[in-house]
Structure 1
Amino acid sequence: MKKMLLLLILVALSCSKKDVFEADRQIIINPVAKCENGFAGEYPCNDYDLLTHISLEEIAGENTVGNDSWGWVDPSTNKEYALIATNKGVSFIDITDPAKAIILGFLKTRTENSSWRDIKVYKNVAYIVSEANDHGMQIFNLSRLEEVTNPPVEFTADREYTGFGSAHNIVINEESGFAYAVGTKTFAGGPHFIDLTNPFEVVAAGGFEQSAYSHDAQVVTYNGPDLDYTGKEILIGSNENEVVIVDVTDKENPVKISAISYSNIGYTHQGWFTEDSKYFILGDELDERDKGVNTRTIIFDFTDLDNPIFHFDYLGKSAAIDHNGYVKGNLFFQANYTAGVRIIDISDIANKSFTEIGFFDTYPDNDNTAFNGAWNVYPYLPSGNIIISDINRGLFVIRKSKS
């Protein structure tokens, strides 16, 4: 009996801090409003519960308008954070226990307010751009969040990069360590390359201007079906009226591989690869308004990067405008403005079939074709919790309902 007790003690002691934290986290994650009979509190839903909601007034005071968001996990503590962008700057919120979320602090815009501000994270550093005049890029060490003892505090940036004036967005290839600012005042609005090897002394690394303005992009170290490009760094640009595929491996000599357009273009806005890199899922931001269609998602077959092919259109249940969308496994998480976030099963994509399996509507007023509601969704937290930033209502954290 004593030997058994000693063995149990040794096993317990051998458990890592992460194991203990994970166990604790499973206990504390409780919805503030379960999705029952089609609603979580006042919010229409299907199979997704509300874990917390923080208003824009709480996040950054009066006259605040929401926009982009991202997530970060502190590798030393496994705490989870929401990075919420607004017209005024960026707020950093500890959502490890969503029901007890803590607004840790705020980083003001570098120059002036703007309705467009975007964030990405690489190696515990946040990189923030905006369309605000001469904003450049703010660089913020996220490890500082653990040091906050009396929140909320007003942060200052650790460094600033001024290699471009303003930018619409920034994307990062975490495998290569390069960032790509898009919609800048350089390279005709095409991607502006930045080397993040030294995160606080970043270096300009060139750009690509042959396809003009790039509104958004995804950049990957390619490991898909086209063996001609295995290991190459590939940029997929959503460039207003077409999707452009560029080999950016050699930063001094980027090479356009191909481009593809499609019917009834409104505004080629943003897209994301499936995890096997075979298909690219695109959102057009203005086709609902200008072409009179329901929420339309355009899917391309990228099996051959030199010869991309239109695959099919998926139409949603309302005429709400789609904005940003991200793939996680066989699910596509789509920020759908007034219709909130839609969760779509894409496992049958080869047979040209998508199925909506869940949603959470952060804008319950209506599903009109208008620029209100969910701007962005971040589905990549290891806890399974999902961050939503809403233009009108701030931060939401949701989670799939337990069966």
Structure 2
Amino acid sequence: MMKKILLLLILATFSCSKKDVFEVDRQIIIKPSAKCENGFAGKYPCKDYDLLAHISLEEMAGENTVGNDSWAWVDSATNKEYALVGTNKGVSFIDITNPAKATILGFLKTRTENSSWRDIKVYKNVAYIVSEAKDHGMQIFNLNRLAQVTNPPIEFVADREYSGFGSAHNIVINEESGFAYAVGTKTFAGGPHFIDLSDPFQVKAAGGFEQSAYSHDAQVVTYNGPDLDYTGKEILIGSNENEVVIVDVTDKENPTKIAAISYSNIGYTHQGWFTEDFKYFILGDELDEKNKGVNTRTIIFDFTDLDNPLLHFEYLGKSAAIDHNGYVKGNLFFQANYTAGVRIIDISNIDNKAFSEVGFFDTYPENDNTAFNGAWNVYPYLPSGNIIISDINRGLFVIRKSKS
């Protein structure tokens, strides 16, 4: 009897019908809208990952909408999960707590003009949004407002704006230090532009680093890895078009370049991510497939000694699709791979220079050509285990590992 009461209470909390959910080991799992069976979830090629929800770009922002980056936010007060999906026109905010009943809450328009490049990151319930749109600066949006929407969808306006730079290609945030780093601006020769987020709505410029010129993307961490010389330091890894640079940005007034490393057959050094032990850095080159004629190539560096980074090995995928953004979660690497969708790669044998693909979900079923269509970004960090994908052509997908 108590079990039945508990189940009814949980169902009420999620506002689901019985057909939308089922109980497994006392956890409520949303029933897939399309289960991955015989290599397909509906029309989408897949392996071991089911489709929970799909929201088109037209639903988000009307005709002539093009997708780009994405991020996510969890409301700590309610545990609700939200997708933040970038488009050429602005950002769509979508409640995906129950993907079967995903709700578009509203849309925040671009600050100036449309752009194919928009990027969102979150710190302390606040979204920070940049774009390559002219004079866009950074929009600051209070995510707590999402819980107050009663008649969706609505048109949002930003709470604040930061104009310390005009356009920016990307923004990264070290949530441990409370600093943001805008990259690809016209300040600091395109190098990282530091922003103090200690007051989230009254952010302040905090310097920058221009020694290594343009940085296309970056990851910034409070370091706790094998190189004891840098324990507790704030370390930036920049993907800088033709090399990877390692910078100590602990002292914002005196950032110091530690090292740089390049590699063969460079197309465009695009984006990378540390393994969780900080021993390795996994890099994607965006143009090597197109310009060098190789299959999807992932470059793995050994960062055991930050002063002496080494090339560890290269991993080639199964097609010539272009890799874009990739993120590590545990022993898995989630790689947005444009026309080949999202590939899930087991990196547990990284010490022995071996990766293996263990799953995928292809949001662009037409082909796996070397072209800029399909999956732009993947976000694998939601507590529910659900994974969001933002697709250039088809909008938002929510997927989840298949249950046996």
Give yes or no for TM over 0.5.
yes
What letter is aligned with 1:128?
Answer: I
Deviation of the 1:327 alpha carbon: 0.1
Per-residue Cα deviation, 1:251-285 (whole angstroms, up to 9, x for no partner): 00000000000000000000000000000000000
What letter is aligned with 1:290?
Answer: N
Whether 1:146 aligns to 2:147 is yes
Whether 1:114 aligns to 2:104 is no
Q: Which residue of 1 aligns with 2:264?
A: 263
When residues 41 and 306 of structure 1 are mapped into structure 2, their CA distance, relative to the original with a 3 A threshold, is: same
When residues 106 and 309 of structure 1 are mapped into structure 2, their CA distance, relative to the original with a 3 A threshold, is: same
Q: Which residue of 1 aligns with 2:290?
A: 289
Q: Which residue of 2 aligns with 1:99?
A: 100
Q: How does 1:276-355 map to 2 (within 5 A)?
A: 276-355=277-356
Q: Which residue of 1 aligns with 2:77?
A: 76
When residues 19 and 171 of structure 1 are mapped into structure 2, their CA distance, relative to the original with a 3 A threshold, is: farther
Q: Which residue of 2 aligns with 1:254?
A: 255
What letter is aligned with 1:281?
Answer: I
Distance between the aligned counterparts of 2:386 and 2:168, measured in 1?
29
Distance between the aligned counterparts of 2:330 and 2:193, measured in 1?
30
Deviation of the 1:30 alpha carbon: 1.1
Q: Which residue of 1 aligns with 2:34?
A: 33
Deviation of the 1:18 alpha carbon: 10
- Assess if the C-alpha contact under 8 Å between 1:21 and 1:78 holds in 2: no
Question: Which segments of 5 or more consecutive residues in structure 2 lack a partner in the other structure?
Answer: 22-26
Distance between the aligned counterparts of 2:60 and 2:279, measured in 1?
39
Distance between the aligned counterparts of 2:143 and 2:339, measured in 1?
31
Q: Which residue of 2 aligns with 1:374?
A: 375
Q: Which residue of 1 aligns with 2:180?
A: 179
When residues 147 and 329 of structure 1 are mapped into structure 2, their CA distance, relative to the original with a 3 A threshold, is: same
Distance between the aligned counterparts of 2:118 and 2:10, measured in 1?
33
- Assess if the C-alpha contact under 8 Å between 1:129 and 1:167 holds in 2: yes
Distance between the aligned counterparts of 1:365 and 1:332, measured in 2?
24
Deviation of the 1:27 alpha carbon: 2.5
Deviation of the 1:21 alpha carbon: 6.1
Q: Which residue of 2 aligns with 1:52?
A: 53
TM-score, normalised relative to structure 1:
0.95
Question: Which segments of 5 or more consecutive residues in structure 1 lack a partner in the other structure?
Answer: none
Report the 3-state secondary structure (helix = DSSP H, G, I; strand = E; otherwise coil) of the residue aligned with 1:197. coil
Q: Which residue of 1 aligns with 2:227?
A: 226
Deviation of the 1:352 alpha carbon: 0.2
Per-residue Cα deviation, 1:7-56 (whole angstroms, up to 9, x for no partner): x89xx99xxx999969x984351100000000000000000000000110
TM-score, normalised relative to structure 2:
0.95
Distance between the aligned counterparts of 2:46 and 2:252, measured in 1?
45
In angstroms, what is the RMSD of aligned CA positions? 1.9
When residues 379 and 368 of structure 1 are mapped into structure 2, their CA distance, relative to the original with a 3 A threshold, is: same
Distance between the aligned counterparts of 2:179 and 2:114, measured in 1?
27
Distance between the aligned counterparts of 2:183 and 2:10, measured in 1?
37
Report the 3-state secondary structure (helix = DSSP H, G, I; strand = E; otherwise coil) of the residue aligned with 2:28. helix
Deviation of the 1:341 alpha carbon: 0.1
When residues 246 and 329 of structure 1 are mapped into structure 2, their CA distance, relative to the original with a 3 A threshold, is: same
Count residues in correspondence.
Answer: 392
- Assess if the C-alpha contact under 8 Å between 1:28 and 1:97 holds in 2: no
Distance between the aligned counterparts of 2:383 and 2:13, measured in 1?
12
Percent identity between the two aligned chains = 87
Report the 3-state secondary structure (helix = DSSP H, G, I; strand = E; otherwise coil) of the residue aligned with 2:68. strand
